[in-house]
Structure 1
Amino acid sequence: MSDPLADVVTLLRPSAAFSKSVSASGPWRVRRAEHGRPFYCAVLEGSCRVAVRGHTPLILEGGDFVLVPAADGFETSSLTSFTEDEDTVPVEEHPGEFRLGRQDGPTDVRMLVGYCTFGSPDAGLLVSLLPGLVHVRGETRLAALVQLVGEEARQRRPARDLILARLLEVMLIEALRSRDGPTTSPGLVRGLGDDRLAAALRGMHERPTAPWTVARMAQEAALSRSVFFERFRRAVGVAPMEYLLAWRMALAKDLLRREGGGIAEVAARVGYGSASTFSVAFSRHVGLPPAAYAREHSHSA
């Protein structure tokens, strides 16, 4: 049986590119303007506020994990009101360890923050299938991973950075597959949390070459066509056929990168009856004809 989330994550190839340990006390605020970089924050103890552009601000507590697959801007701050116009300047106490706010006294919050990277050159399309924000709370497995990361970050043991990178990769995947987060936004994860929609999503991933229509998807989900369409759009954030197109194009890009030309074969493997029909759809969606895309990106597989 196909696993849609595993399919997307496998193509994304996530890794932890950069992380830092942060402790804070008193009032503080840090703002960052981003351009689609994946951002994460794991609160090891204490609490703080995070506001991601386009989403409702969140109060994070110990054990919480937030992942934003494509951040455009965000702000983290203390729960204590911060009245100054300028941001707090982090003070590096040790390599990779920073302090915010008061430099002495008890710590109000300790967290691990950073950025990850997606190895796929087609990350933008794949990220569009994921929620815009994932907030996980009360997940025992993820809390245990956060605890392990916190312990590893505090100690200067051999291979510390390698262990941290691997743990963070597992945290990212665990967060993406957590379906019960209090504020997970529309996307594949929320769709998979609905058993009816999950049946249709698994069908699309398992049989991308099938002649899918909304009616056939609804049948897979054991719902009426109209109920299925609305339920899918609300949960996943896009219409069913739009999701199918995005997934077929993601598969096509991966095949073209790994196998070069063979346009007719790629077309058949992603559900198109002819190379010309596929080429028109691919060019419209990607902005390049399949052959040109294969020439430009075959080295990046």
Structure 2
Amino acid sequence: MTDPLAEVVSLLQPGAPFSKLVVASAPWAVRRTETGRPFYFVLLQGSCLLRIDSATHSDTITLNEGDFALLPSARSFATSSLDRQPPGDDEAVDTAIVAMPGGARVGDPDGPVDTRMLVGNCIFGSPDAAILVSLLPNWVHIQGEHRLSTLVQLVGDESRNDRPAREIVMARLLEVLLIEALRSTASSSTSSSLVRGLSDTRLALALRLMHQRPSDPWTVAQLAREAAMSRSAFFERFSGAVGMAPMEYLLAWRMALAKQLLRQREIAISEIAERVGYSSVSTFGVAFTRHVGIPPGRYAKRGVGAATA
């Protein structure tokens, strides 16, 4: 059966071209603010604390050697050595940060290095990144995964050696690491997301059916029957777990598929309409225009440039 998370990851077109090495000597603390870009951490040596702030609350997690953490839409976060708490928004940070080739030295520049990590911004190449990212957890923390640990070791080894084509290899390894982390359902995050929905056996069945057969005329009642739940119970459980109502999710997925097919410009709009669940080009056009802001024909002509719409 179709894997919804794998499809979302594929449509996101993830990449990790921007990274820097951070070496630290305890005690230390760093705080930074982002603009909603994806941000990741790869712990190569030692441990640290990571505080992730949202509009409603903060989460603090411990990152250990071999761990990978991803913030799909980073806003405000802080890291620190284990001997102190990561600073909040209103707390002063007095840790020394010294630039070095390829990264930064944090803490006492003469102290022993006890933590090494790769940090950086990811990119999501999809014009539909905003809606797709909304289906992911607020943060992803992967630990104890053999495949991920092996990739982390490869990344660490590459970062320590000045081999030919080092930057290209690093970028590719980080991209694979990012994809592995996104498609893993081992996240400990409890935020509403596709991952959380897929961890619920009944909701997972409904999600997979929507992805496998997006052209079917699904209703909440039909999906609830497939999940062996009452309509009201299914609606509340789905909305709470995934973060959006069932029909809202279905519409978002259909539109993401439609935009991908329109950009490819390989099949007629009438066939695209049928594939994403519309009985006519006109009804599809109305729905697409309301959702995207421009008609499907114009979107197809603009191609990738339509991402700005």
Normalising by structure 2, we get a TM-score of 0.88
Kept after mapping to 2: 8 A contact 1:135/1:184 = no
Determine if the alignment matches structure 1 residue 79 to structure 2 residue 86: no
In structure 1, the partner of 2:6 is 6
Q: Which moved more, 1:181-190 or 1:65-74?
A: 181-190
Q: Does residue 172 of structure 2 align to residue 166 of structure 1?
A: yes
1:267–1:275: 8 Å Cα contact kept in structure 2?
yes
* One-letter amino acid of the structure 1 residue matched with residue 281 of structure 2: A
Looking at structure 2, the residues matched to 212 and 53 of structure 1 have their Cα atoms a distance apart, in angstroms, of 37
CA distance in 1, matches of 2:134, 2:300: 22
Task: Indicate yes or no: 2:94 matched with 1:91.
Answer: no
Give the C-alpha shift of residue 274 in structure 1. 2.0
1:100 aligns to what?
Answer: 106
Of the three residues 69, 76, 86, the one matched with 1:66 is 69
CA deviations on 1:220-264 (whole Å, 9 max, x unpaired) are 223333332232222211111111111001011111111189433
Given that residues 145 and 167 in structure 1 are in contact (C-alpha distance below 8 angstroms), is that contact kept between their aligned partners in structure 2?
yes
- Please say if 1:57 is aligned against 2:60: yes
Aligned residue pairs, count: 300
Say if 2:242 is the partner of 1:236. yes
Q: Aligned partner of 1:52: which letter?
A: I
Retained in 1: the 8 A contact 2:137–2:189?
no
CA contact (8 A) 1:261 1:291 kept: no
Q: Secondary structure at the match of 2:299?
A: helix
Tell me whether 250-259 or 281-290 shows the greater mean CA deviation: 281-290
Contact between 2:148 and 2:181, CA under 8 Å: does it hold in 1?
yes
1:126 equivalenced with 2:132 (yes/no)? yes
In the TM superposition, residue 73 of structure 1 has moved relative to its aligned partner by: 2.5
The CA deviation at 1:217 is: 1.4
1:213 maps to amino acid? T
Question: Please, which runs of 5 or more residues in structure 2 have no aligned partner?
Answer: none
1:298, CA displacement in angstroms?
Answer: 4.8
User: How many angstroms does 1:67 deviate by?
Assistant: 0.7
- SS of match in other structure, 2:18: strand
User: SS of the counterpart of 2:72?
Assistant: strand
Contact 2:261-2:267 at 8 Å conserved across structures: no
Separation of aligned partners in 1, 2:94 and 2:5: 37
The letter for the 2-side match of 1:40 is: Y
| Residue of structure 2 in register with 1:15 after alignment | 15
Deviations 1:3-49 (A, max 9, x none): 21221111111111201111101233322222221100111222222
Shift, 1:300, TM fit = 7.5
Change (3 A) 1:87 1:210: farther
Higher strand fraction: Structure 1 or Structure 2?
1
Residue pairs, 1:40-51, within 5 angstroms = 40-51=40-51
Q: 2:224 aligns with which of 198, 215, 218?
A: 218
Write the letter of the residue equivalent to 1:120.
Answer: S
Q: How far apart are residue 87 of structure 1 and its match?
A: 5.4
Structure 2: which amino acid aligns with 1:225?
A: R
Q: Contact conserved, 1:70 with 1:132, CA < 8 A, in 2? A: yes
Distance in 2 (CA, whole Å) between partners of 1:22 and 1:39 is: 14
Letter of the 1:31 counterpart: R
| Alignment match of 1:179 (pick from 185, 194, 198) | 185
Report the alpha carbon displacement of residue 58 of structure 1 after superposing the two structures with TM: 2.0
Q: Which residues of 2 match residues 140-289 of structure 1 at below 5 A?
A: 140-183=146-189, 185-259=191-265, 262-289=268-295
Q: CA deviation at 1:167?
A: 1.3
Query: What secondary structure, in the 3-state scheme, does the structure 1 residue paired with 2:38 have?
Result: strand
> Structure 2: how far apart are the matches of 1:157 and 1:184?
41
Following TM superposition, by how much is the alpha carbon of 1:112 offset from its aligned partner in structure 2, in angstroms?
1.0
Return 243-252 or 153-162, whichever deviates more.
Answer: 153-162
- Percent identity, please: 61
Maintained 8 Å contact 1:232/1:240: yes
Q: Is the 8 A contact 2:197 2:238 kept in 1?
A: yes
**1:87, 1:125 → 2: CA distance?**
37
